[in-house]
Amino acid sequence: MPLSRRRFTRQLLAASAAALTAPSLPLRAQAQTPSPAILTGDRPTLPDGVASGDVTSDSAIVWSRTDRPARMVVEWSNSDRFTEVRRVVGPVAGPETDFATKLRLRGLPPGQRIFYRVAYEGPGGPGDAGPSTPGELVTADRDPRDVFFAWSGDTCGQGYGIDERHGGLLTYDSIRRLRPDFFVHSGDLIYADNPILPELKLADGTVWRNRVTEGKSKVAETLAEFRANYRYNFLDAHVRAFQATVPVFAQWDDHEVRNNWYPGQKLDEDDRYTVKDVDLLATRARQAFFENNPVTPSRDSQIYRQVSRGPLCDLFFLDLRSYRAANSTNRQAQSGPDTRFLGERQLGWFESALRRSKARWKVVCSDMPLGLAIGDSGGRWEASSNGDDGPPLGRELEIARLLRSLRDHRVQNVLWLTADVHYAAAHYYDPAVAAFTEFLPFWEFVSGPLHAGSFGPAAFDRTFGPNAFWRSRPTGAPQNAPPSANEQFFGTVRIQARTGVASIDQYNRIGQKVWGIELPPA
């Protein structure tokens, strides 16, 4: 007779009672006598590998997923030989999270590479554990130390899935080989609204042949289908190896739910959807996002947050989806409920957090660019800009308030990183050429896509005075270029401890550097 979940959990707790006090005590690795379940090969596995994220100077989120009810156990060490390990007993994986679990490792030493391994234990306790999967991460240093990280966005968009003949999701491997301390995923981790079909005919007459799965064969509507979008990405060996060695700091944009979505939207004119309520889709998508990413959990599933990487770098992750008003013509003269973009609560937090930050560089991780005119259907606008080069209107009023606040409080060295538009660029925002002048000049860097169709370049909205110092694509370039065209990009940021200089470089899909700049701190 199969064990009930309650009885199973009781047995796990009893078998692991001694281990529950182990996180604070160093342990020597000891051989365990295999249980009969292990001898027969019937033991929990980790089909999607392991991942870590939101790593600070003394903590990290570790994530994995198993294939049955089992308890997560993480062991970590300062040595890749695991001669001295600390053991942390985590939650029980169950069907309510599709057997995905995560836990926060605490008490990590600052400024060190940490090696960890994840396994799942059955009801028999440690002797009933499946094989472990290793990973590694780098904690932030409390003293000034070089910070090196990468960023990009947009995975498996426009129907471009895993084609092994074209290297699979090769950009992830190129990032991994640079060994950054962590990776900022700027959104569109999945394309829940873009099914992956067996073949795509390309403009040059060749065929892109996808690996296909049933769960990724239609637009995502059910929770199972949103989960299947993440499962699809994890099928790629590059993604699994990347996540095991590079911590991922994730945020979302629109395609985790649907293209250009906003709260309250109805999909009456989209025949692909039987679920017409975007709010219901977003609730399911948010659950799948938190289940499948090493993101700090919160009571209300809040995505915006701050992560400190020591005295040189604080990161501020925005959520430009959850609190926005409906997409509109975006030309309102005064702020109100119909001009929300960040929303009052998030905007207030963001202003205050930036003012309080003592880090040399304040890195804003935005899921959308500030100064590009990004349209929606029916003459509406998708981002904060509205295509009008004059004074701030509509959603631009929130941006103007933020920039004015940073100027008034002399918050300097603010660096914006984003993706979304499927090409790479460097933008300098200059009040000397802007319609709105009450701000300090700043840089915004765009990268991507990681693995999707390449588009752009987009036109500027000159309200905040953006200038293009570099773009990866010329005007008139073919749209929706496939990954095989090698127009996939990611960026890196290296902040030097000795000088405080931030070096920003852009790389293509195969890891070739294509552009770079050095920014001295103010």
Range of the domain at 316: 147-519
Query: Does residue 152 share a domain with residue 74?
Result: no
Quick one: which H or E segment has residue 283?
Answer: helix 278-291
Query: Does residue 184 share a domain with residue 107?
Result: no
Q: What is the pLDDT of residues 407-458, one digit of tens each?
A: 999 999 999 999 999 999 999 999 999 999 999 999 999 999 999 999 999 9
> Comparing C-alpha atoms, which of 9, 65, 116, 74 is closest to residue 291?
65
Of the residues 138, 157, 174, the one at which a domain ends: 138
Of the residues 114, 138, 162, the one at which a domain ends: 138
Predicted confidence band of residue 234 (pLDDT cuts 50, 70, 90): very high
- DSSP 3-state of 71: strand
The half-sphere exposure of 169 on its side-chain side, counting CA atoms within 13 A, is 32
Query: Does residue 116 share a domain with residue 81?
Result: yes
CA-CA distance, 132 to 462, in Å (whole number)? 53
Q: What is the pLDDT of residues 37-58, one digit of tens each?
A: 333 358 999 999 999 999 999 9
Torsion sign (Cα): 395, 396, 397, 399: positive
CA-CA distance, 160 to 195, in Å (whole number)? 9
Pairing of strands 113-121, 70-77: antiparallel
Q: Which residues are CB-neighbours of 311 under 8 A, at least 6 positions away?
A: 142, 143, 144, 358, 359, 360
Pairing of strands 182-185, 113-121: unpaired
Looking at every residue in the chain, the average pLDDT score rounds to: 93
Residue 191 CB coordination number (10 Å): 29
Query: Does residue 217 share a domain with residue 118?
Result: no
Query: Does residue 208 share a domain with residue 249?
Result: yes
Query: Does residue 300 share a domain with residue 442?
Result: yes
Give the count of domains, the chain. Answer: 2
CA-CA distance, 197 to 219, in Å (whole number)? 11
**CB-based burial of residue 348 (10 Å sphere; 0-12 exposed, 13-18 middle, 19+ buried)?**
exposed
Residue 257's CATH number: 3.60.21.70
Residue 15's CATH number: 2.60.40.380
Query: Does residue 311 share a domain with residue 227?
Result: yes
Structure tokens, 182? 């962590």
Q: What is the pLDDT of residues 333-363, one digit of tens each?
A: 999 999 999 999 999 999 999 999 999 999 9
